[in-house]
Structure 1
Amino acid sequence: MTTHTVNRRDFIRVTAAAGGGLVLGFNWLSACSPSSRQAKAAVHDLNAFVKIDTDGLVTIMAPNPEIGQGVKTALPMIVAEELDVDWKKISIVQAGLDTGKYSRQVAGGSGAVRSSWAPFREAGATGRQMLVNAAAAEWQVDPAACSTEAGKVWHKESGKSTGYGDLVEKAAALPVPKNVALKDPSAFRIIGKRMPNYDNKAIVTGSIKYGIDTRRKGMLYAAIIHPPAFGQKLQHFDDSEAKKQPGVQQVVSFDNNIAVLARSTWEAMQGAKAIKADWSDDSKLESTGDYADNFRKILDRPSQEKPRRKDGNIRQAFAGAARVIEAEYAAPFLPHNTMEPMNFFADVREDGVELYGPVQTPEKAQSDVSKLLGIPKEKIKVGMPRTGGGFGRRLKSDFVTEAAMISKLAKAPVNLIWRREDDMGGGDYRPMGLYRYRAALDQEGRLIAWHHHSVGVTGNPSRQDSFPAGAVPHLQVDALEYKSPVTTGPWRAPNHNFIAFSEESFLDDIAHQVKKDPVTFRLELLEQAKQHPVGKVDYDPDRYAGVIRKVTEMAGWGQPRPGVYQGFAAHFSFSTHVAEIVELIRAGDKLKISKVYCAVDCGTVVNLSGAETEVEGGIIDGIGHALYGELTLTRGRPDQTNYDHYRLIRMREAPEVEVQFIRNNEKPTGLGEPGLPPAGAALANAIFAATGKRLRSQPFIKSGFFG
């Protein structure tokens, strides 16, 4: 085992629970109520904890919001592994927000497992060592002579064994060891295995409760009315007819919104339909075509801003190049389309505020409500049910602050539920953007200069340290921001989701134009980045090359098969290297995706089942949006506000996906997002292989190649 020193202040507390039991409290977990199970060791008014009852049952609190990425299962697996318990005797409970005891209580950036790997291992290992010390003291043997397995301590020489439940009270009285031995990965019994999602049964049977299911005594349902177009302002509204609708209790207005409160969701939404509102008519409201035209005008002018990155001298390199290749790629707006509509419960009272609902950033929600209402954060409690999808939409807290304000104005507990149209029509989209590339090559076809010039709505549309940065001697990244009233925000794998498409498509284009195999071309660039690196990079050339070689082996790249067309792409995001190959076949006069191969280097895989699901879901999501995803605007008004006009990939269209992970003992890296970015590029490159045509804008359905 590797010795690891626990040196965090107040990192672990050990107490004896009332009635017996060992409680390990962690400074990143929050306070919670006891399990509904009638445990022998009752726990009251404790901070966040892992509890071992005298009957051997272990309760582990799940600190991060669960939005379908599997952290409610994966994080407890880490603790259970080092604690050396029987997974079947684990109970997992979702924690609430506690900013004093949690660190990074967020569902975003594919960071939950990455940030929790070391502290959760240390916590489990510390508990295990204390139980070993208790058994050794009882048997009067050297703790080093004892071992653990499945919730028991063993002494091989004497043949003695004792369950954790029989040791917890004695262990609680012992000092907390300052140095603990972490397991060698070869001894893992839980980590790396396929474990079913902890909530599976509850989900399948319908017993699990989402935020939209929240019920409270005296609660009203609220429907929200936002401006129909971005940039419009509320001038006047008439609620007389709305108040005549059955079940409608109140109508309130704040900022630029109107809310109707009623006894049920249906009654609230029917009341909202009866509202007559006048909105300002701004002649400057822009349509999708306006954005596209303005983007090109901006890129046609020399940039006045400092480059995001500048290696070498691209002007000289392009002037002396044997060949210059140029291309332009267009990204549309995309909504998030979470399966569970946006909703949140708020109860604003004189003595404090209760917030409860699906949110990816509970601390931000608490802080924003505190600022809005002028209420101290310590008086605002935030609870988190399982969330029916986030994809970045619930990183923002606009729907939370709306619920809080409505509750305050109505003087009642409120469950605010948006319609699908409210969310798709209300923004926080993946930004629209335009990406222009130029590449310079020498006489031997080597890439000597690269220029990325892009503009996007509200935000930096570039990833300046991503491949091929570091592999090209002359490289410049100019990324500009276009101000717009359209609200944008993080969308699954922010920036990476389109950068991977544009850059990997362009690299494929360059390789074909210089008559090089696209995979060989990239491997040569990675070798250049390894042997003669230029500036800072965010990827590891060896690990990057490793996934490329693995996926080409999986897919039989370079071994032609009649009627099968392959496209390759790779990308690094959230500390994870991913390479993918899409296979197309012909179905009549159309193309069909038959299979996708994917190789991933994400370090140690905690839950193999969950990891495969995350990658497969990301790939299908990436392919679906590349094929069909587009939200357009007409004078600031969204044209697609529900699924009757917004196309998503269907189950029958989802291809077979084969995923393999590079096995190593590196610490875990991100996984919820990295599978998505290369998918669109691999598909576009496969389309080129099948048709000889380059698709440089999404969605691909407009090409006519797909049904």
Structure 2
Amino acid sequence: MAELMKTNRRDFLKVAGTAAGGLFIGFYWSGCDSPKMKVLSDEEVLSEAHNFNAFLSISPSGDVVMYSPNPELGQNIMTSFPMVVAEELDADWEKVRVFQANLDNDKYDRQVTGGSGAMPHSWERLRKAGATARHVLVAAAAAKWEVDASECSTEKGQVIHKGSGKKIAYGDLVNDAAQLTAPEEVPLKNYKDFKIIGTPVKNVRNKEMFTGKPLYGLDVYREGMVNAMIQRPPFGMKIKSVDDSAAKNVQGVTDVVVFKNNVAVVGESTWPLMKAKKLLKIEYEPDGTVESSEDHERLFGELMEKGKAQVMRKDGNVDQAFSKAAKVVTAEYQCPFLSHSPMEPMNFFAHVKGDRVELVGPTQTPDRARMETAQLLDIPTENITVEITRLGGGFGRRLRADFVVEAAELSKILDKPVKVTWSREDDQTGGAYRPAVRYKFQAALDENGKMTGYKLRGVGINAGNTTRENNFPSGSVDNLLIESIDHKSPITTNAWRAPITNFLAYAEQSFLDEVAQEAGKDPVELRLELLDRAKKDPVGEIHYDVDRMKTVVETAAEKSNWGKDSNVMQGFSVYFSHRSYVAQVANIEMENNQPVLKKIVAVTDCGIVVNPTGANQQVRGGIVDGMGHAMFTNMTFVNGLPKQTNFDTYRLIRMKEVPEIDVHYIDNGIDPTGLGEPALPPTGGAIANAIYKATGKRLRAQPFIEQKEFSEFNLEIKRV
């Protein structure tokens, strides 16, 4: 049976008919002030469509055009969104086209890429858009044939009358359909009847990417534009003096501008600017606290023992549980700062023209870019346009708008259109990093190995809340205390793929393995035991779905043949983040007395998988990202400057180091719950637990290769 979805004129405006042409069905993603259907000519569908941001159009040729509001940075949303519309529309996928929408708050209410939230937010809106269009097309065909609409079906862009076998293409119905009114209720398909959703579909921008067509912010060019590169100060420092004489003598440099605490070199192209920037002689002086990594180590120790913590969650009587414990397990885990390191460094174009501004470039938060520009220049937001290019990666770095504001401010100063481009070194040294954090865990066990008490204290540097206090194992332990301490630092930090959980998951899951060992239990058995407790007799509020988590745990154990091969050393990890659940098993085998990571098995519950091709890349990419940063990557500071300024010293994972990754999904038919981030958090824990199983060495800090416990082993990664 089809699912009924209520719709009204706050979701869809009624169809209005005009001259011959295409059917246009506009819809607001926020569900406010319903969109309209109006007739457009085929030429208008291809040209005027660029003037709209939230709409589905059908031309007389049968082409379906869809604008995607969310910035695309590799999460495949520009392919998945139209797949959902085309599914409910029963469109011919070969005739579906999609374009990136520009910022428009009147039509969209979430033009953001972050938090793995685009598909969960838009799922119903997209389905209603396609289903409503299909409904009026069927009604138009039924009227033309003088039959009841219930006798008609649709398939690949055609309406079909079952009794007579008549068929008519959508393009031939748009004029008649445009005279009809959108219904109050539209039937949605049962997910088991999907024909497009759940099938592997190639990225709709593959051809442009493969052939090098302009798509990215670095490709942006405007007539009369100048380029700029900026030297930014070390964290906690300010400019004392600037000698720019040598930089100005570089051919191709037209200007050097000192503004606020920055020095910009301006010219025709980036190559002479990079040369000139190195010739700047800038003297800095402290502007408050200047910190180094040695300071952070000291702060971690002091705050962990004596710092005033904020209680994030407390259940039961923790002190009593630990005083009566037969055994107490204690461990500390630590992670470093990390750079986001997107393939495309920060860049943005700005043209300030009096009281109006044109902004173009790669941003995860276009509205934030506009708002911060408006505040800087004291210009109404409605006078600022933001065109969103494809993003060459982001991972949270492009949630900020610092690089956008730089371009706008320089354009105002120079009275010219400006494109600001960051070098890789700029990205490394002037970025907003993944916060450094240290965790202290304690578990109280009774004489039977049952966990009766659990403590977690997190200390972070510009991390905000260092915990996810309502995640597992909260709700499964009688007595629980979770605390957080945040040290304010001049070193800027920012959300980094799967914020906080990107490291917290590794620490928690590694610690649970330590608890399992002390309790004399299998690691999977311990997790299932705790989940059963949370299901049958929960302690406090439960903020995760116990059944969904338990299912991925059991399925991962099954798919990996957990514990059944004595020659394979396995590490387990499971985590809930961004509404989804992922369990992973890392397989290590010993070769010549050295541990060799052979395989990672991943089981994901993200609800309905819209596009298996895109989903597989998200899971695999998350695992590779999580593995690489857990094993290799570190950023340290000396007097406010990072020591690692490029990829020669900032070690990223290499393609030859990626093991076999075996991906599975839970088919439960629930609405999609996000996939851009959830596969990353469990990876570090699965690998660390497998390393312990193989070597007897606990890795309680990242990156693994810098730990003394790891130094006597050379962990090899074999590609299969």
TM range (shorter): over 0.9
CA–CA distance in structure 2, aligned partners of residues 409 and 36 of structure 1: 44
Distance of 1:238 and 1:17 partners within structure 2? 66
Q: Is residue 542 of structure 1 aligned with residue 547 of structure 2?
A: yes
Q: Are 2:53 and 2:102, in contact at CA under 8 Å, matched by a contact in 1? A: no
Give 1:320's aligned residue.
324
Q: Establish whether residue 665 from structure 1 lines up as the match of residue 655 from structure 2.
A: no
Tell me what 1:504 maps to: 509
Offset, 1:680? 0.2
**1:48 alignment partner in structure 2:** 54
1:138 maps to a residue whose letter is K
Residue of structure 1 in register with 2:365 after alignment: 361
2:590 equivalent among 578, 586, 589: 586
Q: Deviations over 1:468-494 (max 9, x none)?
A: 000001001110101111100100000
How many residue pairs match? The answer is: 702
Change (3 A) 1:283 1:155: closer
Is 1:464 matched with 2:469? yes
**Equivalent position amino acid for 1:578 in 2:** V
- Matched residue of 1:241: which SS? helix
Letter in 1 for 2:641: R
Q: Distance in 1 between matches of 2:157 and 2:222?
A: 40
**Contact between 1:19 and 1:40, CA under 8 Å: does it hold in 2?**
no
Q: Check 1:252–1:587 CA distance in 2 against 1; reply closer, same or farther (3 A cut).
A: farther
Task: Choose from 595, 607, 625 the match for 1:603.
Answer: 607
How many Å separate the matches in 2 of 1:508 and 1:16? 65
Preserved contact between residue 15 and residue 24 of structure 1 (Cα < 8 Å) = no
Matched residue, 2:7: 6
Q: 1:13 to 1:367 in 2, by over 3 A?
A: farther
Partner residue, 2:718: none
TM-score computed with the length of structure 1 as normaliser? 0.97
Distance in 1, matches of 2:288 and 2:605, equals 51
Letter paired with 1:275: L
The answer to whether structure 1 residue 193 and structure 2 residue 199 are counterparts is yes
Query: How big is the shift at 1:427?
Result: 3.2
Bigger mean CA deviation after superposition, 16-25 or 628-637:
16-25
Alpha-carbon distance change, 408 to 518 in structure 1, aligned in 2, over 3 angstroms: same
Matched, 1:486 2:486: no
Give the superposition deviation at 1:2.
1.3
Corresponding residue for 2:344? 340
Q: Which residue does the alignment assign to 1:264? A: 269
The alignment partner of 2:171 has SS state of: helix
Counterpart AA for 1:69:
Q
- Aligned residue for 1:307, secondary structure, equals strand
1:372 aligns with 2:376: yes
Return the letter of the residue paired with 2:300. F
Which residue in the other structure is 1:637 paired with?
641
Q: CA separation of 1:179/1:292 partners in 2, compared to 1, >3 Å: closer, same or farther?
A: same
- Structure 2 CA distance for aligned equivalents of residues 649 and 12 of structure 1: 51
Deviation at 1:14, TM superposition (A): 3.6
Q: Which moved more, 1:21-30 or 1:143-152?
A: 21-30
Q: Which residue of 2 aligns with 1:648?
A: 652
Q: Counterpart in 2 of 1:88?
A: 94
| 1:195-238 deviation line (CA, Å, top 9, x unaligned) | 001111111111242100111100111001100x2100112212
**2:228 corresponds to:** 222
From the superposition, tell whether residues 247 and 120 of structure 1 become closer, same or farther in structure 2 (CA, over 3 Å): same
Counterpart position of 2:108: 102
Q: Is the 8 A contact 1:250 1:410 kept in 2?
A: no
Task: Assess if the C-alpha contact under 8 Å between 1:453 and 1:479 holds in 2.
Answer: yes
Q: Does the CA-based 8 Å contact 1:19-1:42 persist in structure 2?
A: no
Contact 1:578 1:675 (8 Å CA) reproduced: yes
Q: Which whole-Å CA distance do the structure 2 matches of 1:590 and 1:105 have between them? A: 48
Q: Aligned letter for 2:27?
A: F
Contact 2:595 2:695 in 1 (8 A): no
Name the counterpart of 1:242: 247
Q: Please identify, of 39-48 and 14-23, the stretch whose mean Cα deviation from structure 2 is larger.
A: 39-48
Post-superposition shift, 1:538? 2.2
**Aligned in 2, Cα 1:547/1:435: closer, same or farther, shift over 3 Å?**
same
Preserved contact between residue 17 and residue 43 of structure 1 (Cα < 8 Å): no
Q: Is the 8 A contact 2:4 2:185 kept in 1?
A: yes
Q: Which residue of 2 aligns with 1:422?
A: 426
Change (3 A) 1:8 1:681: farther
Q: Is 7-16 or 311-320 further displaced after alignment?
A: 7-16
What is the SS of the residue equivalent to 2:621?
Answer: helix
What residue in structure 2 maps to residue 706 of structure 1? 714
Bigger mean CA offset, 325-334 vs 287-296? 287-296
Give the drift of 1:297.
Answer: 0.8
The alignment status of 1:180 with 2:186, answered yes or no, reads yes
Cα distance, 1:10 vs. partner? 4.8
* Structure 1: distance between partners of 2:529 and 2:565: 22
Q: Is the 8 A contact 1:107 1:361 kept in 2?
A: yes
- 1:500 partner SS: helix
> 2: distance between equivalents of 1:539 and 1:370?
39
Residue 525 (structure 1) aligned with residue 533 (structure 2): no
> What CA distance in whole angstroms lies between the structure 2 residues aligned with 1:324 and 1:344?
53
Distance, in Å, in 1 between the alignment partners of 2:430 and 2:591 is 38
Q: CA deviation at 1:499?
A: 0.8
Contact 2:24 2:40 in 1 (8 A): no
The amino acid that maps onto 2:296 is Y
* CA spacing shift, 1:42–1:334, aligned 2, 3 Å: closer
Deviates more, 1:616-625 or 1:10-19: 10-19
Q: 1:9 to 1:579 in 2, by over 3 A?
A: same
Aligned equivalents of 2:536, 2:53: Cα separation in 1: 51
Question: Separation in 2 of the partners of 1:523 and 1:46?
Answer: 51
Task: Report if the CA contact (8 A) 2:337-2:435 is conserved.
Answer: yes
Aligned-residue offset at 1:104:
0.7
Instruction: State the SS of the aligned residue for 1:308.
Output: strand
What CA deviation, in whole Å up to 9, does each residue of 1:639-679 have, x standing for no partner? 00100101000000011101100001101001000000000
Q: 1:352 aligns with which of 356, 380, 399?
A: 356
> How big is the shift at 1:304?
3.6
Question: What is the CA deviation profile of residues 478-517 of structure 1, one whole-angstrom value per residue up to 9, with x for unaligned ones?
Answer: 1010111110010000011011011000001110111100
Work out the CA distance in 1 between the residues paired with 2:531 and 2:543. 13
Alpha-carbon distance, 1:141 to partner: 1.3
Q: Which amino acid aligns with 1:149?
A: E
| Residue identity matched to 2:704 | F
Deviations 1:349-380 (A, max 9, x none): 11511111110000110111011111111111
Partner residue, 1:626: 630
2:413 to 406, 409, 416: 409
Q: Could you tell me how far apart the structure 2 residues matched to 1:102 and 1:294 are?
A: 44
Write the letter of the residue equivalent to 2:541. K
Any unmatched runs of 5+ in structure 2? Answer: 716-720
Amino acid at match of 1:424: Q
Determine whether 1:117 maps to 2:123.
yes
Tell me, yes or no, if the aligned pair for 2:475 and 2:534 is still in contact at 8 Å: yes
1:136 alignment partner, SS class: helix
Secondary structure of the residue that 1:100 maps to in structure 2? coil
Q: Which amino acid aligns with 1:652?
A: K
Distance 2:186 2:288 in 1: 67
**Which residue of 2 is the match for residue 569 of structure 1?**
573
- Name the SS for the 2:112 alignment partner: coil
1:202 to 205, 208, 225: 208
The alignment status of 1:309 with 2:313, answered yes or no, reads yes
Cα offset for 1:138?
Answer: 1.0
Q: 8 Å contact 1:334–1:430 — kept in the other structure? A: yes
Let me know the Cα RMSD of the aligned residues. 1.9
